[in-house]
């Protein structure tokens, strides 16, 4: 039995790559809330062998890194995912690891990173093999009786998950949390999302530990530009793309429009307050 970890506008190919990365990251977050995965007691007949090459040094707040495999991408259900039960080594330049899998078709394999910096254990994809011949979608593979072992290489750059800046402020809600709340999160975006997939496509950082009113937040981010900082709500049993916005940081010079934040490495931007309105939730 494998139990869940304690801690989930340029070219078309690049957009799909980013979407793949952040969709998987958000699915990871839901695993924390939902699942205990049972893939059976008997040994699994197939094997994934991944050779992972690391660059740079892991952030000081690294909790661990875990191998995750998705039979379908994006998954229809959280318990479809296979993951390593323990962290891989984080102090080596090269790591070779294996995972037992049943026979079948798999649409993604990735290396997930967990931070200890926040209560919610921010999640990131540290590495994910992509297929340049298939619009840079995640690399697919098959485990069969004829070919029970699949080998792949993964390249992990620790700088990808080095959140070297932060945004701080207070979120004020105009009432109590709805009873059917699954997640209330503050999310930083590279661009303001307009369509469902873009809620995952442009995500740069998320903290889903919001559980009180008012809520003082400190959101670790990678230095750069944040064009949309907002509070999103997700109901119990909702689809993964059914986020609903309840408030966002407004441009002080243009109320009603998203404010842009430029964050430098080592910088903490403070007093970025957001006012959230539960009445904006649609039934």
Q: Are 281 and 184 in contact (CB under 8 A)?
A: no
Q: Are residues 156 and 17 in the same domain?
A: yes
Kindly tell me the burial class for residue 15, based on how many C-beta atoms sit within 10 Å of its own C-beta (0-12, 13-18, 19 or more): middle
Q: Are 178 and 210 in contact (CB under 8 A)?
A: no
pLDDT for 35 equals 43
Question: Is 93 within a domain?
Answer: yes
CATH number at residue 188: 2.60.40.1120
Local structure of 268: helix, strand or coil: strand
Q: Are residues 110 and 16 in the same domain?
A: yes
What are the tens digits of pLDDT across the range 99-152? 999 999 999 898 988 888 755 444 577 888 888 888 777 899 999 999 999 999
pLDDT for 77 equals 56
Interatomic CA distance for residues 75 and 231, integer angstroms: 24
Model-level pTM? Answer: 0.67
Give the pairing of strands 104-106 and 94-101: unpaired
Total domains in the chain come to 2
Q: Are 32 and 53 in contact (CB under 8 A)?
A: no
Local structure of 244: helix, strand or coil: strand
pLDDT for 34 equals 46
> Which stretch of DSSP H or E encloses residue 23?
helix 12-34
pLDDT for 116 equals 82
- Can you tell me which residue has the tokens 């026979």? 103
| Last residue of one domain, picked from the residues 140, 161, 182 | 161
Residue span of the structural domain in which 247 resides? 165-280
C-alpha distances in Å from residue 273, one per residue of 10, 136, 140, 172, 218 = 31, 37, 43, 8, 11
Helices and strands counted in the chain (H then E): 2, 23
Where the chain has pLDDT below 50, the residues are 1-21, 32-40, 120-122
Interatomic CA distance for residues 17 and 37, integer angstroms: 27
Q: Are residues 52 and 183 in the same domain?
A: no
Q: Are residues 41 and 151 in the same domain?
A: yes
Question: Is 3 within a domain?
Answer: no
Q: Are residues 135 and 261 in the same domain?
A: no
| Last residue of one domain, picked from the residues 127, 161, 195 | 161
- To 5 degrees, how large is the angle CA 68–CA 71–CA 244? 80
Interatomic CA distance for residues 124 and 106, integer angstroms: 20
| Last residue of one domain, picked from the residues 107, 128, 161 | 161
Question: Is 7 within a domain?
Answer: no
């Amino acid at each position: 039995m494998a139990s869940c970890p304690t801690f989930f506008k340029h070219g078309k190919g690049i957009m799909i790559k980013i979407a793949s990365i952040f969709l998987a990251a958000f699915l990871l977050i839901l695993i924390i809330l939902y699942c205990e995965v049972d893939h059976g007691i008997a040994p699994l007949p197939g094997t994934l062998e991944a050779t992972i090459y690391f660059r740079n040094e892991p952030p000081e707040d690294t909790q661990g890194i875990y191998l995750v495999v998705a039979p379908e991408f994006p998954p229809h259900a959280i318990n479809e995912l296979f993951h390593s039960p323990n962290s891989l080594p984080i102090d080596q330049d090269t790591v070779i690891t294996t995972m037992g899998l049943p026979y079948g078709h798999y649409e993604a394999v990735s290396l997930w990173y967990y931070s200890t910096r926040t209560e919610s254990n921010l999640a990131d994809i540290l590495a994910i093999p992509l297929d340049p011949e298939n619009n840079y979608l995640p690399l697919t593979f098959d485990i069969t009786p004829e070919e029970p072992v699949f080998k792949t290489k993964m390249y992990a750059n620790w700088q990808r998950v080095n959140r070297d800046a932060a945004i701080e402020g207070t979120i004020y809600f105009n009432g109590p949390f709805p009873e059917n709340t699954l997640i209330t999160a503050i999310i930083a975006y590279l661009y303001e999302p307009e369509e469902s997939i873009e809620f995952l496509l442009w995500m740069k950082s998320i903290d889903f530990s919001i559980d009180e009113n008012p809520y003082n937040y400190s959101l670790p981010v990678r230095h750069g530009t944040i064009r949309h900082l907002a509070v999103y709500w997700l109901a119990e049993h909702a689809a993964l793309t059914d986020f609903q916005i309840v408030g966002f940081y407004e441009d002080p010079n243009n109320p009603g429009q998203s404010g842009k934040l430029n964050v430098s490495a080592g910088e903490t931007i403070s007093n970025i307050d957001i006012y959230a309105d539960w009445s904006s939730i649609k039934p």
